[in-house]
Chain A
Amino acid sequence: MIEFDNVSKNFGDTRVLTGVTGEVNRGEIFTVIGPSGAGKSTLLRLIDLLDVPAGGAIRINGLDIHADKEKSLSVRRMMGMVFQKPAVFNTTVTENVAVGLRFRGVSKSETRKLTEDALAMVGLAGYGERRARTLSGGEMQRVALARAMVIEPEILLLDEPTANLDPVSVAMIEDLVVRINRDLGTTVIFSTHDMYQGQRLAHRIGVLMDGAFAQVGTPREVFTLPASREVARFVGIENIVEGVVVEREDGTAVVDAGGVRVRARSPFPRGERVSLCIRSEEIRIAPAIRGRRVSDGNILPGTVTAVVPRGPFSRVTVDCGFPLSSVLSWKAAEDLDIREGGRVEVVFAAESVHAVRQG
């Protein structure tokens, strides 16, 4: 439905978007995740015609939205947008929500009804006569959502709408977005720097890094099969190991990482330089017992170099020739008698190792 064709944008000498290519499907929630400054806001602003791209095109239903100024207004009126900073007009809540309807010349009675419905939807029924400026940040953002939704847009753009909110408000907004998408079929583009939020909400995720999509895929793909070392790092994979493919058979490969051999799922041929991505959660730590063999798996002996408490868990780092981290409960760490300098074995399946080509 929305197509990005090598979209670029720069502000002065700063290149913010270097060539975004991708597609958002009708009716899906597409989250744009990426570190701060990656160009998420800029991309959403370009879609809403608040900025003009320097190069490339954005097409909605095949129409290049920036090509024809005459059509700008009608294109923009297909969309609603909520911004990162909660901003309300200095008037009543009802008046805030009604603004878009007034712009479209909707009748008074109709406006009244739609406004009430929209406020009810965001859980602010009865707030209508309050002055919007007196609301909390979370309430303001819900007003903003109602204001954007009351015009029944085909596309809802949300630019980090929960970045400044408390956890309860975040949950509320997320829930609303999911319901809007499910009940009304609105196509949602939601940007966030919080990868877990992206994961929670999205049908598909676009990982925006350095001004371009580093990966577009389902949350599962992005979180388990990151397309690059950078994506892997951004989606929270702590163990990334460099190596070279030395053997291959049936979709698994043996990778030599500084003398240590690691079995991994990999489509890459021999001699390919790869990065191995292993989630901490996928790694077990066991006492060192000689002669244990697990077919198709990895058992690497090593020395514990650090045990760092993290919430109710301990993060244990083991040197197996390269550092690998795992997360254990306190009890498990005690039972296994894990302490710095102790000898252990690090165990993980070949399926848990995701290899990406080194860029």
Chain B
Amino acid sequence: MYEIIEGFLEAARLIVTFDPDVMAIAARSIIISFTATIIATLIAVPLGAAINFGTFPGKKNLVNLIQTLYSLPTVIVGLLIFLLISRVGPFGFLRLLFTPTAMIVAQTVLILPIMTGLTISALSGVDPVIRDTLRSLGATRLQFLVNVLKEARFAILASVAVGFGRAISEVGAAILVGGNIAASSFASSTRVLTTAISLETSMGNISQSIALGIVLLIIALGVNLAITTVQHR
């Protein structure tokens, strides 16, 4: 109990004083996960839209498959990406292993299914009357798609939040492909909140772990708060 209280006090100090190490790790986490989320959004939204608006055989099975992939274990994704980008792997020539880029790739792959699935749900959730109204107003195919997406924007935004939350809180893939490196330059380091918590705990630095954990929590809550605020306008 004493350890936990002491940990929290120290954590508060690290956060309030903007401890450079903690803040750098937090900033890196945000950058990596936001980038992954943005890339995943750029893929998931058009993909989800294509699946939702398209009619093709096996559509239902595809949607089921995507939903199954929601629970893709992070270490499996990590292992897969590791094997692909390791020097002897097919993309080894890119030299991506142990870089932030590798982590972005892994997180993108990790959150792609859930973001695609939620985009599909978001679009399916648009009232059929809204769709009819758009068509009756003389929308071209493209205008129709854009406006249905617009109508689903808040639900899609929620899927972005879910994706970001999953990306920033996962540890398995981050440690496998990132290597938890603390280099002297910000950009070469791959230590993020989750991997740092894992390391600091194993090294017995409980207060550091708690501080990082609180920062992670604040970021996750902050993003969700921002999105709920926007949604309830």
Task: Name A's B-contacting residues (CB within 8 A).
Answer: 45, 48-50, 73, 76-77, 79-81, 83, 85, 87, 89-90, 99-100, 102-104, 144, 147-148, 151, 157
Contacts and interface: CB of A to CB of B under 8 A. Distances in A.
B127 A50 contact: no
B129 interface: yes
* CB-based closest 5 A-B pairs: A77-B138, A81-B136, A87-B129, A100-B137, A85-B129
Interface string B127-145: 1011011111111100100
A60 to B, nearest CB: 15
B151 interface: yes
A85 B130 CA distance: 10
B154 interface: yes
Contact of A89 (B136, B138, B151, B154): B151
A151 B138 contact: yes
Contacts of A76: 135-136, 138
Given A89-B133, A90-B153, 12 more contacts: A48-B135, A76-B138, A77-B138, A80-B137, A81-B132, A81-B133, A83-B132, A87-B127, A87-B130, A90-B154, A144-B133, A151-B138
A99 B135 contact: no
Given A87-B127, A87-B129, A73 B137 contact: no
A87 B133 contact: yes
A105 to B, nearest CB: 10
B140 A73 contact: yes
Contacts of B130: 87, 89
A102 B138 CA distance: 10
A90 B126 CA distance: 11
B125 to A, nearest CB: 12
B198 interface: no
Interface residues of B, number: 18
Contacts of A80: 136-137
Determine the main DSSP class of B at the interface with A: helix
A84 to B, nearest CB: 8
A151 B136 contact: no
Contacts of B136: 48, 50, 76, 79-81, 148, 157
Contacts of A85: 127, 129
Contact of B147 (A48, A81, A89): A89
Contact of A83 (B129, B138, B139, B143): B129
B228 to A, nearest CB: 16
B127 A100 contact: no
Contacts of B129: 83, 85, 87
B137 A103 contact: yes
Contacts, number: 56
Given A76-B138, A77-B138, A151-B137, A99 B147 contact: yes
A147 B147 CA distance: 15
Given A87-B130, A89-B130, A50 B137 contact: no
Which residue, A90, A104, A151, A157, has most C-beta atoms of chain B within 10 A? A90
Which residue, B137, B140, B154, has most C-beta atoms of chain A within 10 A? B137
Contacts of A100: 137-138
Interface in B87-129: 127, 129
Nearest to A89: B151
Contacts of B150: 89
Contacts of B133: 81, 83, 87, 89, 144, 147
Nearest to A131: B233
Interface in B195-223: none
A99 B140 contact: no
B30 to A, nearest CB: 29
A50 B132 contact: yes
A45 B147 CA distance: 20
B149 to A, nearest CB: 12
Contact of A103 (B132, B138, B154): B138
Contacts of A104: 138
A147 B154 contact: no
23 contacts: A49-B135, A50-B135, A76-B136, A76-B138, A80-B136, A80-B137, A81-B132, A83-B133, A85-B127, A87-B130, A89-B130, A89-B133, A89-B147, A90-B153, A90-B154, A99-B137, A99-B147, A100-B138, A103-B139, A103-B143, A148-B137, A151-B137, A157-B136
B151 A73 contact: no
A306 B183 CA distance: 97
Contacts of B147: 89, 99
Nearest to B138: A77
Nearest to B153: A90
A198 to B, nearest CB: 22
A50 B130 CA distance: 13
A151 B153 CA distance: 26
A131 B88 CA distance: 57
B27 to A, nearest CB: 34
Contacts of A49: 135
A80 B136 CA distance: 6
B132 A73 contact: no
A293 to B, nearest CB: 61
Nearest to A99: B137
A80 B137 CA distance: 6
